[in-house]
Amino acid sequence: MAKIKTTFFCQNCGAQFAKWQGQCTSCKEWNTIAEEVIQKAEKVSWDTSTSAGGQGSASKRAAKPLKVNEISLSAESRMNTKNSELNRVLGGGLVPGSLTLLGGEPGIGKSTLMLQVALQLPYKTLYVSGEESAQQIKMRAERIHPDSENCYILTETKTQNIFRNITDLQPDIVVIDSIQTLHTDHIESSPGSISQIRECTTELIKYAKETSTPVILIGHITKDGNIAGPKILEHMVDTVLQFEGDRNHIYRILRANKNRFGSTNELGIYEMQGNGLREVANPSEILISKNEEELSGTAISATLEGMRPLMIEIQALVSTAVYGTPQRSATGYNAKRLNMILAVLEKRAGFKLGAKDVFLNVTGGITVDDPAIDLAVVAAVLSSNIDIAIDKRMCFAAEIGLAGEVRPVTRVDQRIIEAAKLGFSSIIISKYCKLPKQNYRIDIIKLAKVHDVVKHLFG
């Protein structure tokens, strides 16, 4: 067996070193030096000669260029995960041979989601866990979905042993929980280090591509919300999914940050229950609180997340500042944008908000970056400021410009249709929206300026 050769490279400038050191002497960056394999030993990692799969040997032939229209797509090019929210976010199902990375904060439910999917899958699935014991996983599986014929559990962290098991089992899908716990014999650094993560991922990519088996990796995220490990990990995989939501809320959102096989606009919504994650098929209903009485400071926005319209409730609280400097705080909405909107209201609509505390909250613990919620933010802030409730059956979809103009937003007809479907009686949009000639079962109010909105809402 040939010896494995490793050396140390600066991840910033690429300088090579014989041993690890804290600072790169070439670019002066700290903590950027990581060990990398430069020459592999034979047959220690995933090797096609160890696999019995036919595709492995086929890909060993040297590749030739092909005309695009000569490349044939196999009929069943996507694997249905039996989880419609996950399918939607993936762009229609798992692509054979693809690597998917699922990131999210600790305790958000990554393991629960993947185990649940693994238990439901109609394919032979290998769930590799480096974090929990088989008993712990069994306990969790009991809560979620007690019987499954196709799901195998392996508690192992060494890639060489994992591949040995894969060769014996020949699974159709592999789930790794989590990539940070894996380690390979080739590199001496501890699991979770940059070089270990990269090397293990490389081995898994090689396995996935050569056998056309989809591999799903669970990844930890750092404090600032990035996937722990090298940024290059995100470049290496085909799809990066983010599982998010406030841990204190029961709703979870799955979105794609990168997707080689579909759009990154799609969104999946789940509800965490005692027996696992429930798919939420009609999200608008859960995001709007079901208060019967009318409360000031709330407004409903018709937003779009990907292709899917979503009605979201915005709550604002405006009160006189107790301390000298007024506080501004926004949850689920960009705080800078809130400041901008307050400035526009002050300048263009004559509201003196300079000495007021303003708190803004998007209910359901989700974060929205659709600019169409601006108008609902304006309405909620004003409603709270003058303590007059907005009609619960009215909703908003428009962006606010710096001149105080109400600007049109994309795919406004889709938003109107959703609002009408959910029983809203009117929707305020920009005067400049171009609507296809169609009978909507809802009053459409077209306004041009913030000033007009104030007049329309509060007389």
Integer Rg of the chain from CA: 26
Distance CA 417, CA 302 (A): 10
Least Å from the CB of residue 113 to ligand TYD: 7
- Pick from Mg ion, ligand TYD, none: which does 108 bind, CB < 5 to 8 A by kind? ligand TYD
Contact stretch for ligand TYD (CB under 6 A) within 3-11, 22-30, 101-109, 367-375: 101-109
End-to-end CA distance of the chain: 84
**276-279 vs 267-273, strand pairing mode:** antiparallel
Among the residue ranges 107-115, 118-126, 208-216, 423-431, the one whose residues contact Mg ion (CB under 5 A): 107-115
Q: Which two tokens stand for residue 440?
A: 């909507």
Query: 413: part of which helix (H) or strand (E)?
Result: helix 412-421
Q: Is residue 96 within 8 Å of residue 213, measured between CB atoms?
A: yes
Q: Which is nearer to ligand TYD, 253 or 314 (CB)?
A: 253
Please tell me the total number of residues recorded for the chain in this structure.
Answer: 459
Stretch that binds ligand TYD, among 268-276, 359-367, 415-423, 433-441 (CB under 6 A): 268-276
Looking at 275, 319, 327, 410, which residue binds ligand TYD (CB under 6 A)?
275
What span, in angstroms and rounded, lies between the C-alpha atoms of 95 and 13?
35
Report which of 141, 168, 146, 145 is spatially closest to residue 156, judged by C-alpha positions: 168
Helix, strand or coil for residue 157? coil
Q: How far apart are CA 396 and CA 373, in angstroms?
A: 7
Nearest CA-CA partner of 243 in 82, 80, 115, 366: 366
> Is 380 among the residues that bind ligand TYD (CB under 6 A)?
no
Report if residue 111 touches ligand TYD, rule: CB under 6 A. Answer: yes
Rounded Cα–Cα distance for residues 43 and 52 (Å): 15
Count interface residues toward Mg ion (CB under 5 A): 1
The count of residues interacting with ligand TYD (CB under 6 A) is 15
What is the C-alpha separation between 418 and 307, in angstroms, rounded?
Answer: 12
Q: Does 106 bind ligand TYD (CB under 6 A)?
A: yes
Which range in 61-69, 91-99, 138-146, 343-351 contacts ligand TYD by CB under 6 A? 138-146
For the segment 317-346, give every residue that binds ligand TYD (CB under 6 A).
none
| Site for ligand TYD contains 112 (CB under 6 A) | yes
**Residue 138 CB, nearest distance to ligand TYD (Å)?**
12
Partner in contact with 274, chosen from ligand TYD, Mg ion, none, beta carbon below 5 to 8 Å by kind: ligand TYD
**3-class DSSP state of 196:** helix
Does residue number 278 form part of the binding site for ligand TYD (CB under 6 A)? no
Is residue 32 a contact point for Mg ion (CB under 5 A)? Answer: no
Among 81, 87, 111, 212, binds Mg ion (CB under 5 A): 111
Element (H, E) at 294: none
Tell me the closest approach of the beta carbon of residue 442 to ligand TYD, in angstroms.
Answer: 37
Of residues 293, 245, 240, the one with CA closest to residue 102: 240
Contact region with ligand TYD (CB under 6 A), list: 105-113, 180-188, 311-319, 320-328: 105-113
Question: Which stretch in 19-27, 78-86, 104-112, 164-172 sits in contact with Mg ion by CB under 5 A?
Answer: 104-112
Question: What sign results for the dihedral spanned by CA atoms 19, 24, 27, 32?
Answer: positive
Q: Among 96, 276, 309, 364, which residue sits at the site for ligand TYD (rule: CB under 6 A)?
A: 276
Q: Which is nearer to Mg ion, 179 or 311 (CB)?
A: 179
CA distance 391 to 387: 13
Nearer to ligand TYD, 113 or 420 (CB): 113
The label of the residue with tokens 């171009």 reads 434
Nearest in space to 204 (alpha carbons), one of 243, 177, 228, 231: 177
> In angstroms, what is the minimal distance from the CB of 259 to Mg ion?
23
Of the residues 143, 258, 328, 393, which one makes contact with ligand TYD according to CB under 6 A:
143
Which two structure tokens, joined as six digits, stand for 23?
A: 């600072």
Question: Which pair of structure tokens corresponds to residue 138?
Answer: 């069994």
Q: Does 301 bind Mg ion (CB under 5 A)?
A: no
- Residue 89 interacts with, from Mg ion, ligand TYD, none (CB under 5-8 Å by kind): none
- By CB under 6 A, name the binding residues for ligand TYD: 104, 106-112, 140, 143-144, 272, 274-276
- By CB under 5 A, name the binding residues for Mg ion: 111
